[in-house]
Structure 1
Amino acid sequence: MTVSVLLVDDQEMVRAALRAVLDRREDLTVAGEAAEGDQAVREALRLRPDVVVMDVRMPGVNGVEATRRILAGWPPDAGPPPRVLVLTTFDLDEYVHAALRAGASGFLLKNSPAEEFARAVRVVAAGEAMLAPSVTRRLIGVFTALPAGAAGAGRPSGRGRLDLLTARELDVLLLVARGHSNQRIAAELGLTQANVKSRVNRILVRLGLENRVQAALLAHESGLVDDA
């Protein structure tokens, strides 16, 4: 199955470089490009790609707002919404947590190797999260430094939310937060991949979360993961 991708970045050279990486992979194809957020929303609805690779800082509508508009406004009769892979550099971290809260499925540094970028597209297209542990720790540091309530959501927070989970679900959540795939979680816990997928879905429902990235953020915020 070929994964279709919409590239969103205000720099033409960056889009060209990303396209060159994807065009060399038989299982990945570029469905279209956009240079700013408004155009990204329109093109996502028109092209219905599997994955949107989204820059954060762009003129006009930025990547955070574009991500929110795409996912929150996706027509129910248009099939599943695309997965959003956010591109960032460390100096843009303050924007990334908002994109993840808006429903993005992962984040990647712009200077990542070509093969890592291609793998990230495949990972989010498969419904999993792109969570590089070193980048996650940096992001969590930025996120937890925000003033109380800045992440909003009005939901229960902290360790108390994790009381909704069983011991086995906590085991699964811990490995999700460490960036493990379903296959690796299954191997470590002696479960089938189907069972892991079912448990992850149950975790998201019980915690009122949209995706694995949000679950990983909550695990870090709650102290379940040792970031030392």
Structure 2
Amino acid sequence: MAATQRPGQLVSPDPRLIDRLLSVMEDEIVPLTSREVVKGNKLFGAAMLNKKDLSTIIAGTNQETLNPLFHAEVQTINSYYNLKSEQHVAPKEVLFLATHEPCTLCSSAITWAGFDNFYYFFSHEDSRDSFQIGHDLNILKEVFKHDPGEYARANNYWTGYSICDLIDNCDSSDKYSFNQRATSLRGTYQKLSSQYQKSKGQSCDPAYIPLN
């Protein structure tokens, strides 16, 4: 079937992959994030999967109250390198999952760590409009002069894939069930967002953590 795609973004729907990405968010990332938003950490999460069998290598979540650089992707990469060496998988054999489209800090970390891909569920616009966290787009605009969606999601280092775009291009039988799960995840993250908005700044130093 013909696949629609955003500029610079490759779309290749694979129901098994989409099912696994949604399951990791539902069962592994959300519980971690739920424990951290009450501490004032943002609702962003990440995971690394083995491309060979889609097994989880490690999952993580935002921990900016410990260090302002500990965004979910960065924290997950740090935790990966704290694993025993026998648990390591070569970066090119890793599928990188981010609940939210990586910011410039996190996409740079993904680049320098040698990963050649990332998959994300919520877009930068979702972070701004649904979760009142607009730093990603603000930095892209102020520092790099990019409007929303104008950075290269396909480049010599990696390709960024929207899970929602993949769902949109599935066959109708798979698309229906995936959209139901996507809707449920959006509801879950709205609840996490409400919790974050209530608790941000209560247990962290506002000089370090942006409070919106």
TM-score, L = length of structure 2: 0.30
TM-score, L = length of structure 1: 0.29
Higher helix share: 1
- Structure of greater relative contact order (alpha carbons < 8 Å, 6+ residues apart): 2
